[in-house]
Chains A and B, each alone.
Chain A
Amino acid sequence: MKRRDFLKSGAALAALSGCAGGIRGHGHVVVVGGGYGGATAAKYLRLWSGGKLQVSLVERELRPVSCPLSNLVIGGVRTLADITLDDRALKTAWGVRLIRDEALGIDAERRTLRLAKSGALAYDRLLLSPGVDFLWERLPGLSDGAAREKIPHAWKAGPQTLLLRKQLESMRDGGVFAIAIPMAPYRCPPGPYERACLVAAYLKRHKPRSKLVILDANEEITSKKTLFSNVWKNFYPGIIEYRPNSEVRDVDAAHLTAILDFEHFRADVLNLIPPQRAGAIAAETGLKLINKRWVDIDWQTLESSIPGIHVLGDAVFSAPAMPKSGHMANQHAKMAAAALLNLFAGEAPPPSPLVNNVCYSFVDETSAIHVASVHRYDPATRLMQPVKGAGGFSVSPSESEGQTALAWAKNIWADMGLLIRLDRGDARDPGLGA
């Protein structure tokens, strides 16, 4: 046994509230979105109901791609195939009904979900895990598809990830690669800074006369500030330039130019991460939003303002100090699964949910850093609150944590009920009870 034995336990700790024995749960839960939140929820609803609860998972992509680790693809360390997920085991091992379709609307009165191809789908409870959508209306210069190919976001992994990788590869030595970061909150707070590290690592090795400029709308680095600052100073001197308070208001796509308040910034590669809100199926169906962007939920049940519709993951208005991360979506999913099983059994939801978060960020091809936290339900504020004295950061980057970061990914994919393939030519089925 190694000290890292316990890493995985984090992902299962939310199990505490849901593992009360007995067979219960009759009904049909429809889960929308097969990412870190939705896949986990579908699996755990089946696991904790002993297979009694009927669960359908609506996912529009045949093979969803993981956002965590996708910066390694941009840096040329991994391939897209390494992070392409296979959810067929949710059906074969866990008995989840997989529906390849897109959710277009909700009839909350009749409790039906409207799908693009297969019509209406009835549910007893609906669980939305749609992730984020981009606020394109804030960026008129990116209103058409051609402009979005010239200026990729690569903030939903897949073709956009490969596009940005290709742009980096074909950039001339001596060029400028710019990453524009929106005002928080956005998906994956440390993600843009990790991307900066991996792009800089590539530039240092292959195009050392080039520069990487970070145009951050925020007044300072929003996550792992000291660690990233030190990495940029020590690993990438003269390559990375960080500019706070630099919000991009629009772009001139024809000239690869970012338009800021007092400046037009021209780059050879412009990677603009747009401002975000809850995915459309959650943001445009009448659920109460906060700041017109994120879904307001009850933290004991993850239920929205509309009875029977629960929301989790990046789409919700985050609790204090709670990041929009894949790990946190996995934890939300277990909170929701436990609550739903209690509700189907006519019981109160678990009184004090307890979850944790960890985000690993690579700082070069092999070394990583982390931030970790624990969050407990607080009846006084009715919010999840960070537990004081718990959590923390890496002391410094290490290859050991780089290995742990890869192990984190493999284990959370297994926890989501997916087939695992990172580091292997073959795919393995974690199977029932794994």
Chain B
Amino acid sequence: MAPDSGIAALAGMPPRLFLQKWTLFKEGGPASIMHQIVKGYTDEEAEKIAAYFSARSR
């Protein structure tokens, strides 16, 4: 994660919060690219991604 990039870190994010945000994107929520990217992933894959980031330290 680059410092001061304007994008907050995903590392350490609780999986539930991650999946809430993911779902908002899937429903077309405002984004640059993520509303288009999330459509390529299954729910199971989203859960794996959430688990991966929650286990990373900041």
Contact = CB atoms under 8 A, between A and B. Distances in A.
Contacts of A406: 5
Contact of A372 (B30, B36, B41): B36
Contacts of B49: 9, 12-13, 16
Given A12-B52, A420-B2, A430-B1, A391 B37 contact: yes
Nearest to A418: B2
Contacts of B29: 3
Contact of A12 (B7, B33, B39, B53): B53
Contacts, number: 124
Contacts of B3: 420, 428, 430
B7 A372 contact: no
Given A2-B6, A15-B52, A356 B37 contact: yes
A387 B40 contact: yes
Most buried by B among A5, A6, A354: A6
Contact of A8 (B4, B7, B48): B7
Interface residues of A, number: 47
B36 to A, nearest CB: 4
Interface string B30-58: 11111011111100010011001100111
Contacts of A8: 1, 7, 9-10
B6 A403 contact: yes
Contacts of B25: 6
A380 interface: no
Interface residues of B, number: 34
A376 B1 contact: no
Contacts of A392: 36
B32 to A, nearest CB: 4
A424 B2 CA distance: 12
A225 to B, nearest CB: 17
Contact of A354 (B11, B30, B41): B41
A7 B41 contact: no
Given A391-B37, A391-B40, A3 B10 contact: no
Nearest to B3: A428
Given A16-B48, A372-B36, A414 B31 contact: no
B16 interface: no
A7 B10 CA distance: 10
B10 A376 contact: no
A407 B37 contact: no
B38 to A, nearest CB: 8
Contacts of B22: 6
A434 B5 CA distance: 13
A4 B32 contact: yes
A354 B45 contact: yes
B50 to A, nearest CB: 9
B53 A13 contact: no
B21 A6 contact: yes
Given A7-B7, A8-B10, A19-B52, A414 B2 contact: yes
B37 A372 contact: yes
Contacts of A375: 40
Contacts of A247: none
Contacts of A423: 4
Contacts of B33: 7, 10, 358, 370, 372, 404
Interface string A357-373: 01000000000001011
A412 to B, nearest CB: 9
23 contacts: A2-B7, A3-B30, A5-B10, A8-B7, A8-B9, A8-B10, A9-B49, A10-B37, A13-B49, A354-B40, A358-B33, A370-B32, A374-B40, A387-B40, A390-B36, A390-B39, A390-B40, A390-B41, A391-B36, A391-B37, A392-B36, A404-B6, A407-B6
Given A1-B8, A413-B2, 12 more contacts: A2-B8, A5-B9, A6-B21, A356-B37, A356-B40, A372-B36, A372-B37, A390-B40, A400-B32, A407-B5, A407-B7, A423-B4
* Nearest 9 pairs of A and B residues by beta carbon: A374-B40, A390-B40, A410-B2, A387-B40, A414-B2, A390-B39, A392-B36, A6-B34, A410-B5
Interface of B: 1-11, 21-22, 25, 29-34, 36-41, 45, 48-49, 52-53, 56-58
Interface of A: 1-10, 12-13, 15-16, 19, 354, 356, 358, 370, 372-376, 387, 389-392, 394, 400-401, 403-404, 406-407, 410-411, 413-414, 420, 423-424, 428, 430, 433-434
